[in-house]
């Protein structure tokens, strides 16, 4: 079953998110594992939805006595089943480290919350021909840190950092090569139960370049899925290529 993870980031006012929610009721995502990640303040609006609900982050400290904190038990009470961890914007703007991500991953998995872990190379990595080393080191450090019994509950989301939040041109062949590298690393040393998804300027117009890749289990998309029409078109293409 193909995965489609929709990261809404901090977009949409209350009125806009209600409109978006109503649209989701009208579209067909049969045989697609649709995962919606709205702002935390809107999670309760989707509590009874038929798709899977995802939080965009969890704290490193699950203590309920910390002001402004959000605990995993609170998230699960809203029927949240997935957590997005390690997104580049958390690392860039909140100065989070890979060790912070690993703490969050362990907290999530040990409390029966599935994980979508984000990783990606930088332009500096590419300039120094270190992109595969960076990606490989990040992936192995994360997977080596968790018990293999949790592997079926973690999704690896490959997002080249230089494609996040902009409209840079995709180097399709380079991205496909990197996807194949990551999937081979996962299959050879870890578990085929670990799904791999791709994100980075995916639109209805270019998603066809990736639909036939056997190494890819789905997509994580932000900008283009904010437009419900785009989301509907992407879902239709995924459905026509479902496993």
DSSP string of 112-161, one letter each residue: T-EEEEEE---HHHHHTT-HHHHHHHHHHHHHHTS-GGGGGGEEEEE--G
What pLDDT digit, counting tens, does each position of 110-132 carry? 999 999 999 999 989 999 999 99
Give residues with Cβ within 8 angstroms of 107, minimum separation 6.
58, 60, 62, 72
Give the mean pLDDT of 92-117: 96
Q: Is residue 33 over pLDDT 90?
A: yes
103 sits in which H/E element: helix 98-110
pTM of model > 0.85: yes
Q: What whole-number distance in Å separates Cα of residue 243 and Cα of residue 239?
A: 9
Looking at the domain 2-240, which fold is it? TIM Barrel (3.20.20)
- Categorize the per-residue pLDDT at 147 as very low, low, confident or very high, splitting at 50, 70 and 90: very high
Q: Is residue 99 over pLDDT 70?
A: yes
Percent of the chain with pLDDT strictly greater than 70: 97
Whether the Cβ atoms of residue 2 and residue 218 lie closer than 8 Å to each other: yes
What pLDDT digit, counting tens, does each position of 176-185 carry? 999 999 999 9
Q: Is residue 242 over pLDDT 70?
A: no
Percent of the chain with pLDDT strictly greater than 90: 87
Q: What whole-number distance in Å separates Cα of residue 42 and Cα of residue 13?
A: 10
Give the residue extent of every domain in the chain.
Answer: 2-240
Question: What does the radius of gyration of the chain's CA atoms come to, in whole angstroms?
Answer: 17
Give the mean pLDDT of 151-167: 89
Q: What whole-number distance in Å separates Cα of residue 102 and Cα of residue 117?
A: 9
């Amino acid at each position: 079953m193909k995965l489609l993870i929709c990261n809404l980031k901090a977009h949409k006012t209350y009125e806009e998110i209600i409109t978006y929610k109503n649209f989701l009721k009208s579209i067909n995502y049969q045989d697609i594992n649709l995962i919606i990640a709205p702002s935390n303040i809107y999670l309760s609006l989707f509590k009874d939805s038929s798709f899977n609900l995802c939080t965009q982050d969890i704290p490193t400290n699950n203590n309920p006595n910390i002001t402004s904190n959000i605990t995993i038990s609170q998230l699960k009470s809203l029927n949240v089943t997935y957590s997005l961890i390690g997104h580049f914007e958390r690392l860039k703007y909140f100065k989070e480290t890979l060790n912070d991500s690993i703490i969050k991953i362990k907290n999530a998995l040990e409390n029966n919350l599935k994980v979508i872990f984000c990783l990606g190379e930088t332009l500096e990595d590419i300039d120094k021909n270190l992109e595969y080393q960076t990606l490989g080191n990040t992936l192995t450090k994360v997977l080596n840190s968790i018990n293999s019994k949790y592997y079926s509950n973690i999704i690896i989301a490959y997002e080249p950092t230089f494609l996040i939040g902009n409209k840079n041109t995709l180097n399709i062949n380079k991205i496909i090569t990197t996807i194949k590298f990551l999937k081979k690393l996962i299959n050879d040393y870890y578990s085929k139960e670990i799904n791999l998804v791709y994100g980075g300027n995916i639109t209805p117009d270019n998603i066809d370049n990736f639909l036939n890749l056997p190494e890819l289990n789905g997509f994580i998309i932000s900008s283009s899925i904010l437009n419900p029409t785009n989301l509907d078109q992407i879902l239709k293409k995924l459905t026509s290529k479902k496993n």
